[in-house]
């Protein structure tokens, strides 16, 4: 579904992502790990076109997306979250969700007057769906609250709910469990598993290794911009290069 | 009585002007510091066409289209800039437009201005036409208010707010932020053009000095005072600012101090703006209620 071919990105003299290739073919949950600064988030930015590629090509669902703009990629069903939670603080929780529905008729200026019935019908349907999704992420009680008033963990849930509203086929999650309490982490993990069971492909960056081991069939490991490992989480924990990347080289220890 | 009619006409015109800026500034987060340019373009376009013998309604429609077209045209390069830089670009554009009015004497008669701009044929010239002109302006204001309320309370307004809150999120959710901004500026310019045209046909004489930064600040003040991102806010702000501006005339000011009144009034406007931004940035009518 997502194929990355020899992707490279430099910032000045720094090789942020260096000749990375991989293919996420079948539906499932794939993890992306690596030390801080290894290029994981940069890779996400490249896939979703928030950064321009220096070299390489990226394909989603068989179509090249390397030169497309972020919003067209999103409309193809490849939806991302951000490492720093980005909710829309001055919109209500439910509006945060409804806003995520792509191609709403009423988002044009004139259709509001030319096809008002269709706009109203869509709006009603989107609101109902947003309510269902708020149920899934356990945020129904906050639906009319300004999203900016929610706690950090709740904002993470709203952000995940927002991704669901966008009818994704594949989701890129950038550290979904960072900085939230264990109960909420459980909740998030359950939601992620359920999404995967519904046939949505999931690709996530995460530092919480037990969670990665539980969720992912496959992990990719990056270090200093390069992809150094691809395999099961169990194998990753045994792998020499991966251990080195996280802990430093063994033979330096006298 | 006539004076009251005059004030109410100004309120109606400034309401449209403020609503148009609010669509850009309040809903979309675009700080357009050159909004007066489109007011001026609307005024000059409609005045020139009607002075050529075109019917006033036709001139006004043309003026709106010209203002909107120029708005879209200038928005494309200006919106490549973000935040303050967009503000600076629009400020410069407004100054360019004013200098154009001032120097293209063949077209605009330069500093001499354009006298004798007619009113719509069904409205009498002079004082007798005031009640009818007020009705005309109020109908247009209500119409503009309803149109903007319809689009801003629905998906269009929500999408504009998404762009305002976080452009990256807008893009990540498949919204073309750039296109939404262009739409906001275009609609805003069309309406500013309408307000300008109404004003030109009302006062019957316009000159380049009517379209300075002061007018932009005044309409900005209407929006900030009333409440950004709300529908009633700009209307309320327009009422407050116009009434305040006219009320100054009745102050018992000794003749010797007359020349200080205008600068002091400007300072008071500036003070209101600063105090509002510090103490109540959401305006008299806030967009959202905090619980």
Which pLDDT tens digit goes with each residue over B3-34?
Answer: 888 889 999 999 999 999 999 998 999 998 99
Within-domain flag for A116: no
Residue pair A201/A1 in contact by the 8 Å Cβ criterion: yes
Give B20's contacts in chain A (Cβ within 8 Å): none
Within-domain flag for A134: no
Within-domain flag for A167: yes
Segment B174-192 shows an average pLDDT of 93
pLDDT at B22: 94
Residue pair A251/A242 in contact by the 8 Å Cβ criterion: no
d(CA A212, CA A219): 8
CB pairs under 8 A between A and B: 95
Residues 184-243 of B with CB under 8 A from A: 187, 229
Shortest Cα–Cα distance, A15 to chain B (Å)? 24
Query: SS3 of A169, please?
Result: coil
Q: Evaluate if residue B179 carries a pLDDT over 60.
A: yes
Instruction: State the residue range of the domain holding A208.
Output: 2-88+152-252
**Per the structure, how many domains does chain A have?**
1
Within-domain flag for A131: no
- Which residue out of A41, A68, A70, A119 would a mutagenesis test of the B interface target, given it has the greatest number of B Cβ atoms within 10 Å? A70
The mean pLDDT of chain A is 87
Give B147's contacts in chain A (Cβ within 8 Å): 113
Question: Are residues B156 and A112, on separate chains, in Cβ contact within 8 Å?
Answer: yes
**Rounded (to 5) percent helix, strand, coil in chain A:** 45, 25, 35
Shortest Cα–Cα distance, B77 to chain A (Å)? 18
Please give the full DSSP string across A43-67, using - where no structure is assigned. Answer: HHHHHTTSS--SEEEEEETTEE-TT
Question: Are residues B174 and A99, on separate chains, in Cβ contact within 8 Å?
Answer: no
Residue B166 zone, left/alpha/beta (φ > 0; ψ -120 to 50; rest):
beta
The answer, for A74 touching chain B at a CB cutoff of 8 Å, is yes
pLDDT at B184: 94
Residue pair B47/B114 in contact by the 8 Å Cβ criterion: yes
* Digit-coded pLDDT (tens) for A194-240: 889 888 999 999 888 888 888 888 889 888 888 888 888 888 888 88
Q: Which value does ipTM take for this structure?
A: 0.84
More confident of the two residues A254 and B171: B171
Give B162's contacts in chain A (Cβ within 8 Å): 88, 91, 99
d(CA B269, CA B265): 6
In whole angstroms, what separates CA A6 from the centre of its chain? 21
Segment A183-187 shows an average pLDDT of 86
Residue pair B49/B59 in contact by the 8 Å Cβ criterion: yes
Q: Evaluate if residue B169 carries a pLDDT over 50.
A: yes
Of A48, A70, A107, the CB nearest to B156: A107
Question: Are residues B290 and A69, on separate chains, in Cβ contact within 8 Å?
Answer: no
pLDDT band, residue A250 (cuts 50/70/90): low
Q: Which pairs from A230-237 meet CB under 8 Å and 24+ separation?
A: A230/A22, A233/A31, A233/A209, A236/A33, A237/A209, A237/A213
pLDDT at B198: 94
d(CA B275, CA B133): 35
Within-domain flag for A138: no
Shortest Cα–Cα distance, A153 to chain B (Å)? 18
pLDDT at B291: 42
d(CA A157, CA A137): 6
pLDDT band, residue B141 (cuts 50/70/90): very high
d(CA A165, CA B72): 32
* Digit-coded pLDDT (tens) for A12-30: 888 898 888 888 887 789 9
Give A108's contacts in chain B (Cβ within 8 Å): 156
* Digit-coded pLDDT (tens) for A52-78: 899 899 999 889 898 899 999 999 999
Question: Are residues B155 and A106, on separate chains, in Cβ contact within 8 Å?
Answer: yes
Q: What CATH number does residue A68 fall under? A: 3.40.50.300
Q: Evaluate if residue B286 carries a pLDDT over 50.
A: yes
Residues 162-191 of A with CB under 8 A from B: 162, 166
Within-domain flag for A170: yes
Please give the full DSSP string across A208-237, using - where no structure is assigned. Answer: -HHHHHHH-SEEEEEETTEEEEEE-HHHHH
pLDDT at A249: 64
Closest chain A CA to residue B173: A100
């Amino acid at each position: 579904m997502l194929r990355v071919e020899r992707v490279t990105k430099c910032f000045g003299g720094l090789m942020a992502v260096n000749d990375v290739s991989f293919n996420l073919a079948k539906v499932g949950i794939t993890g992306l790990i690596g030390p801080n600064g290894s290029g994981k988030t940069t890779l996400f930015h490249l896939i979703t076109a928030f950064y321009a590629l220096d070299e390489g090509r990226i394909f989603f669902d068989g179509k090249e997306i390397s030169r497309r703009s972020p919003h067209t990629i999103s409309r193809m069903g490849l939806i991302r979250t951000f490492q720093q939670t980005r909710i829309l603080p001055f919109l209500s929780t439910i509006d945060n969700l409804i806003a995520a529905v792509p191609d709403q008729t009423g988002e044009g200026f004139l259709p509001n007057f030319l096809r008002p019935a269709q706009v109203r019908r869509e709006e009603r349907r989107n609101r109902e769906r947003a309510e269902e999704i708020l149920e899934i992420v356990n945020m129904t009680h906050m639906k009319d609250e300004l999203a900016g008033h929610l706690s950090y963990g709740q904002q993470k849930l709203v952000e995940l709910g927002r991704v669901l509203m966008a009818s994704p086929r594949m989701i890129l999650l950038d550290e979904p469990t960072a900085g939230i309490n264990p109960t909420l982490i459980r909740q998030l993990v359950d939601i992620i598993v359920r999404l995967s069971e519904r046939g949505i492909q999931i690709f996530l960056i995460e530092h919480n290794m037990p969670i990665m081991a539980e969720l992912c069939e496959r992990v990719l490991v990056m270090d200093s911009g390069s992809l150094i490992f691809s395999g099961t989480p169990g194998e990753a924990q045994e792998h020499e290069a991966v251990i080195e990347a996280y802990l430093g080289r063994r033979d330096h220890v006298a | 009585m006539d004076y009251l009619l005059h004030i109410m006409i100004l309120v109606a015109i400034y309401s449209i002007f403020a609503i148009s800026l609010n669509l850009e500034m309040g809903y979309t987060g675009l700080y357009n510091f050159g909004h007066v340019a489109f007011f001026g373009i609307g005024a000059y376009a409609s005045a020139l066409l009607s002075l050529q013998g075109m019917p006033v309604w036709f001139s006004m429609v043309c003026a709106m289209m010209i203002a909107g077209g120029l708005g879209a045209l200038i928005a494309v390069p200006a919106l490549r800039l973000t935040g303050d830089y967009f503000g600076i670009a629009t400020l410069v554009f407004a100054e360019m437009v004013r200098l154009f009015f001032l120097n293209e004497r063949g077209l605009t008669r330069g500093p001499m201005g354009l006298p004798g701009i007619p009113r719509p044929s069904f409205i009498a010239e002079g004082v007798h036409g005031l009640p009818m002109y007020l009705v005309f302006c109020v109908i247009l204001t209500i119409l503009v208010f309803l149109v903007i309320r319809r689009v801003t309370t629905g998906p269009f307004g929500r999408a504009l707010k998404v762009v305002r809150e976080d452009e990256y999120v807008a893009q990540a959710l498949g919204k073309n932020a750039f296109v939404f901004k262009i739409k906001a500026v275009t609609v805003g310019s069309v309406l500013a053009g309408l307000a300008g045209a109404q004003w030109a046909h009302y006062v019957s004489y316009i000159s380049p000095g009517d379209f300075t930064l002061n007018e932009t600040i005044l309409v900005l003040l209407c929006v900030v005072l009333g409440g950004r991102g709300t529908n009633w806010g700009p209307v309320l702000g327009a009422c407050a600012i116009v009434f305040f501006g006219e009320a100054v005339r009745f102050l018992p000011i000794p003749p010797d101090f007359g020349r200080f009144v205008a600068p002091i009034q400007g300072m008071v406007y500036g003070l209101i703006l600063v105090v509002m931004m510090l103490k109540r940035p959401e305006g008299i009518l806030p967009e959202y209620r905090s619980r």
